[in-house]
Structure 1
């Protein structure tokens, strides 16, 4: 019996296993595909606006007029009437020199002129008398001619005396040193009481014009036709000066000016040309010798389609953007007409299109996306003057 019972149990197990295997093999397959995961992205709208184009360069701030104050006569510096860093106007008295010797020479020249004029007056009276007497042969012709020559001689002497007076007056004016320009006084190199000579190269100090001021900069020679058009334009081209020399970063705006001139030749060693812009500088943010970044407005694109630089992607042979279409994205080829650190001007899309601005690395055409934020508009950039 035990053997028969074991046989029955084994047979039952075999039947159960066979039935289970048959059910598993004949079970209907339910193809349940997993839904694709949405890729999170940030988006931005295409904005249509007027966009000014700029070209950048590194420039140096230059004074339009800087003068080193030097004496024009030898003498002792008696008074300094300005302080270092003081703003002065053209014609202001800056310093005085000892003028006693020059005044003495002037008084001597005036005395000689007065003496000569008295002699000339007597000679002219005698000449008139001799002229009347010569009619009746009261005096000889020779005497009359000699008197006329004496009058001419005294006239010439009087003119020489007057010239000496004028020269002394000019020398006297040099003892009062006045500012030839409106500007700021530099660091003083001479104190009161020093003896100054005309041959001194150092001078007393400098006076540098601060407002208005200029910036000189260099650009590639390929910009020559554009700059020529800007110089000849009725409205001067706008130029902005920024603090620092990193053209890729917009620093602090120091001033707004206009393009004034371009140099008359190109530097053959560097292939660049020099240009100059003038700036009003009432707050004195621009300082002579300062290095700045200049941006020149070269054109104005009206009604341009603009997007942030992060929107445009570069493919193997062209640029493209990902445009939102429902819950998916599509790849749209675009052409970049202009780009800078703030925005790109493109064609191939329409104003108001929603484009992906962040998260493109995981995208491909047809990818399902999830917009993290509502589609904001790219900030409009107003044309700068």
Structure 2
């Protein structure tokens, strides 16, 4: 009996081992899991990460600062009336272009003309009185020498002649003043430029002391100023560039892609202590009136051109708490590289240190990339297009 139980125990253990092997094999077959022997060998190699890459290039890049630029007039003149009169004619339309000396408004001259005639008549009267006073002076002097009349009478006659001449001089000065006042009745443009709204119409009574004495405002728009505020730290660079003649401001015309530019001719004489900014002005041509006073548009201050600058697309540079970095492709592996960024210009980043021309960096696919990851690299289409257009990679 003892041997019977021992045989039954051996049989049960053998069946259990058989069914265990069958069950594990079937489970591996159903789930696709590798056998235990294979699992012990370690995880399978990770697949290559698909990325887009581009080579690091060197090219001439501008040293610039981008900000909003404000269009300002070189000269603004408010044309005011200087005499009291009534508007007779308005000879310019609202918003028209005028040249210096063009007649804008004619005022009624009848009153001033009458005053001028009165002054002319007074001068003629003074001339007649002078002639009479001279004759009296000569007669009194002769009689005084002969002792017929007193010396006082002769002196009075001489004084009367001097007074008559002084009266004539005063009336001549009055005439000059009236003639000058008459020129104020013809209001002309002091500068060339664009007129705003004409504030008067025929029949309007004007006085130089009234608030409505401003007839129109003229803005000179060619050439025109572009002002841009830059950080005070750039002051030394700006002055160096102005001395070398390379400093200029480029403005993108609002509503278009057309740029216009002009040299920097002045830097403001003080820094705004609330913002730490200093204003730089450029004079740009505007013969076609493509920009208008008061407009705000994208502008850039170009200080100089830097040859052989190391550049990569903006997408290649990533940022972490430790600073900017890129992934460089070495032997089809990703290598993290810390870089120092100098500036960003028109979609490209100028790298001050950390890269050299000819190295290959990742521009797309960073999310799945880690240090040492195997890469499946595809060239950046933009670089392919540049090369096809004749651009060289240095």
Scaled by the length of structure 2, the TM-score of the pair is 0.76
The answer on 1:303 being equivalent to 2:308 is: yes
Conserved in 2, the CA contact under 8 Å of 1:236 and 1:260?
Answer: no
Alignment partner of 2:68 out of 46, 58, 61:
58
Q: Structure 1: any 5+ residue segments left out of the alignment? A: 1-9, 245-249, 381-385
- Cα distance in 2 between the residues matched to 1:377 and 1:301: 25
Q: What corresponds to 1:107 in structure 2?
A: 117
Alignment partner of 2:260 out of 255, 259, 269:
255
- Cα distance in 2 between the residues matched to 1:328 and 1:314: 20
- Cα distance in 1 between the residues matched to 2:48 and 2:123: 107
- Cα distance in 1 between the residues matched to 2:322 and 2:264: 38
The answer on 1:39 being equivalent to 2:45 is: no
What is the CA distance between 1:192 and its match in structure 2? Answer: 1.2
Spell out the pairing of 1:228-247 with structure 2 (5 A cutoff): 228-231=239-242, 233-235=243-245, 237-242=247-252
| RMSD between aligned residues | 3.8
- Tell me which protein shows more helix as a share of its residues: 2
The answer on 1:354 being equivalent to 2:360 is: yes
Scaled by the length of structure 1, the TM-score of the pair is 0.78
What is the CA distance between 1:279 and its match in structure 2? Answer: 2.3
- Cα distance in 2 between the residues matched to 1:151 and 1:254: 75
- Cα distance in 2 between the residues matched to 1:355 and 1:361: 14
Q: What corresponds to 2:86 in structure 1?
A: 76
Q: What corresponds to 1:3 in structure 2?
A: none
Q: What corresponds to 2:226 in structure 1?
A: 215
Conserved in 1, the CA contact under 8 Å of 2:326 and 2:338?
Answer: yes
Conserved in 1, the CA contact under 8 Å of 2:253 and 2:260?
Answer: no
Conserved in 1, the CA contact under 8 Å of 2:52 and 2:379?
Answer: yes
What is the CA distance between 1:32 and its match in structure 2? Answer: 11
Conserved in 2, the CA contact under 8 Å of 1:61 and 1:287?
Answer: yes
The answer on 1:278 being equivalent to 2:300 is: no
- Cα distance in 2 between the residues matched to 1:61 and 1:318: 37
What is the CA distance between 1:71 and its match in structure 2? Answer: 1.6
Conserved in 1, the CA contact under 8 Å of 2:51 and 2:377?
Answer: yes
Alignment partner of 2:374 out of 360, 368, 375:
368
What is the CA distance between 1:87 and its match in structure 2? Answer: 0.3
- Cα distance in 2 between the residues matched to 1:135 and 1:371: 127
The answer on 1:344 being equivalent to 2:354 is: no
Pair 342,127 (structure 1): closer, same or farther in 2 beyond 3 Å: farther
Pair 319,57 (structure 1): closer, same or farther in 2 beyond 3 Å: closer
Q: Structure 2: any 5+ residue segments left out of the alignment? A: 1-10, 26-36, 388-394
SS in 1 for 2:289: coil
Q: What corresponds to 1:289 in structure 2?
A: 294
